[in-house]
Structure 1
Amino acid sequence: MSTREMTSPPPTKLLSKVPEITIWFWIIKVLCTTVGESFADFINVALGVGLVETAVIFTGVTAVVLAVQMRLRGYRTGAYWLTVVLLSITGTLYTDLLTDQAGVPLWISAGVFSAMLAVVFTIWFVKERTLSIHSITIRPREAFYWLAVLVTFALGTALGDWTLDLTGWGPGASILLPLILIGIVTPLWRFGANPVLAFWIAYILTRPLGANIGDWLSLTAPEGGLGLGTLTTSIIFLLAILATVVYLSISKTDTVERASGTAAPPVTPGRRRTALGILAGVAVATVMLLAYTSSLPHKSALADEGPAATCQAGSAAPTQPEAQAAAQANFPAPNMAEFRTITSDTLAFVKKGDQTAAAARVTDLETAWDDNQSALNAADCAAWTYIDKQIDPVLSAVRAPTPKPATEQTALKNLLATLGGA
């Protein structure tokens, strides 16, 4: 997809708010989606900020940057791709909120976001008579465009995670499916498929592709990854995005005004119908592959990322006494004693005003909890989910830039009570 979509009437080039669709567009798009996965996980999990808090923060930052982007009169490389990066992170967080926080099954999330995208496209087309991104020359069209981008990120996240849940594929193998599908869509676009349809299909598929690459790089070797961690992966890809943006800003190869004018693929009714038929066949074959793979014995690849969603989807969350009783009955006593000791130590440091020691000790809690995650979740998923949600506010409170002792003590005492401590 290296030329502009063929639409009528032609876009006003001088006012275009989007880049030329070249190989650079797709490279930086994948880089952005990888950052969306890894950086969201780093802020939420590694720093212990919490899923809801992280989503609120990035929603606010995205709104500010998007407002600036909307006020620009033309395409600016840095502003455009910064907006894409933030929308990638925010869209990922919205899907995670539904899955991990609200316990909504991934197939429902995928259906909801698919319906939302269909509504956005329908209203956009009815009002503007085109869905081509190279018709983004006025603010109403740009508003539809950015809303569609946000929904595609959320949808791509849900579809990617749902695929992992259905198949049990590891992060490395999971890269292949979206990569192969993109490899099919590209020659079909050149053959004569509807360019707007081909563009948006590829745009959605780059989300699970980038996310799976991020997981493959960041997860540990036992989990099927290279073990770089979310922070290192985020830094690598942010630097790659920065280098690409600098190059494009200097070379101007991503601007419509400097586009090479490569001949557009031939478009005939016969070719268009043939390409559409092939796309439909590929979609059916993909569904059949996923259905067959799902029927085979396997462990969900999301078990290590978010087992809480599996528990919550099928049963009501326990109360604090129920979670405490279940943990005492089903979790190994040495583990429970270790968690209580660490939590008590952290609370003691907070009461003494030794924030440095408290932060160090709470990291011990996070490490011990994560190291035993698989065994504890298998022993009692509901109890694990309940305690895990109590640990998040503890991490957030103790690691806050300006810690509030009252908030810290409340979170620690709540956790200690569930763990069976005094």
Structure 2
Amino acid sequence: MTTPRLQRHAPVPARTLTKVPAVTALFWGVKILTTGMGETTSDYLAHRLDPVIAVGVAGVLLAVSLATQLAARRYVPWIYWTAVVMVSVFGTMAADVLHVGAGVPYAVSTAFFAVALAALFVLWFAVEGTLSIHSVRTVRRELFYWATVMTTFALGTAAGDLTAVTLHLGYLVAGVAFAVLFAIPALGRRPLRLSEVAAFWAAYIVTRPFGASFADWAGVSHARGGLALGPGPVSLALFAVIVTLVGYLTAAARRPAH
């Protein structure tokens, strides 16, 4: 049976330029780094600030970054990736609040966010006729996009902790397992008859537990199977690499086309 292309031939309302970056190896690299930074930054803030204050501050910064992204007329690397980082931090906190604050098991929160993500995909496709990120040229499509991104981060946080903690696989084993899952859509797209859109979102969802598991492994104590570097230093190291790569993307975007 052929996998549906997840796209109809619907006209795209005019807007200047697409609001999301091209999907390249650098895109995936920065995306995975942001997931790790979001995980360790959330852990660091949770242990340094009152949880209510931490969530509140992260929520305000997320709102500001998304408002800036929505107001931009085109894809601007530093604006876009700032929004992704804040989605990562806040999405991690949202999943952790359900488990730590409300006592919801990781299995339940993983199922909840999986259902929420599926519902978003169905609604997005029903309204817009496509799930392709290359068509994100209107405010409505961008709102669908960021709602989906936020949900993938929350789902990935819960799934990563479910795998590493509840199933007792540990962060390193979980990271390796999710790395394999991340590679499947790219390597098996043709054998599995995945459309480009389906392969993209399958890989995108897995980037969250992939990056976060390795970041946790680097940060947590030896007793928990980690390298004991601490969430603060890991966050700073990831932040430095992200800033460097986004700086490169910004400079590349300003170069005149030949």
CA distance in 2, matches of 1:190, 1:83: 32
**Which amino acid in structure 2 is aligned with residue 40 of structure 1?**
S
**3-state SS in 1 of match to 2:171:** coil
Aligned to 2:62: 62
For residue 165 of structure 1, report the CA deviation from its aligned partner.
Answer: 3.1
**3-state SS in 2 of match to 1:21:** coil
Aligned to 2:40: 38
CA distance in 2, matches of 1:18, 1:112: 27
CA distance in 1, matches of 2:221, 2:114: 32
Q: Deviations along 1:55-102, whole A, 9 cap, x unmatched?
A: 121111101110111011110000000000000010000000000000
Higher Cα Rg, which structure: 1
**Which amino acid in structure 2 is aligned with residue 68 of structure 1?**
T
Q: Structure 2-normalised TM-score? A: 0.90
Matched, 1:84 2:112: no
Aligned to 2:235: 234
Aligned to 1:25: 27
Matched, 1:95 2:98: no
Matched, 1:153 2:153: yes
Q: Deviations along 1:211-252, whole A, 9 cap, x unmatched?
A: 111111111223221121111000000000000001111123
**Which amino acid in structure 1 is aligned with residue 236 of structure 2?**
I
**Match runs of 1:253-292 below 5 Å:** none
Aligned to 1:296: none
Q: Structure 1-normalised TM-score? A: 0.56
**3-state SS in 1 of match to 2:23:** coil
Aligned to 2:211: 210
**3-state SS in 2 of match to 1:168:** coil
Q: Deviations along 1:96-126, whole A, 9 cap, x unmatched?
A: 0000000011111112111211221111111
CA contact (8 A) 1:35 1:214 kept: yes
CA distance in 1, matches of 2:15, 2:195: 21
Task: Between the two structures, name the one with larger relative contact order (CA 8 Å, sep ≥ 6).
Answer: 2
CA distance in 2, matches of 1:204, 1:182: 9
CA distance in 2, matches of 1:202, 1:10: 27
**Which amino acid in structure 1 is aligned with residue 195 of structure 2?**
N
CA distance in 1, matches of 2:79, 2:190: 30
- Report the CA distance shift for 1:36/1:176 in structure 2 as closer, same or farther (over 3 A): same
Aligned to 1:250: 251
For residue 44 of structure 1, report the CA deviation from its aligned partner.
Answer: 0.9
Aligned to 1:15: 17
CA contact (8 A) 1:171 1:215 kept: yes
**Which amino acid in structure 1 is aligned with residue 37 of structure 2?**
V
Q: Deviations along 1:5-26, whole A, 9 cap, x unmatched?
A: 9965697795100000000111
CA distance in 2, matches of 1:240, 1:190: 33
CA contact (8 A) 1:77 1:248 kept: yes
CA contact (8 A) 2:220 2:228 kept: yes
Aligned to 2:125: 125
Identity of aligned residues (%): 37
The root-mean-square deviation of aligned C-alpha atoms, in Å, is: 2.2
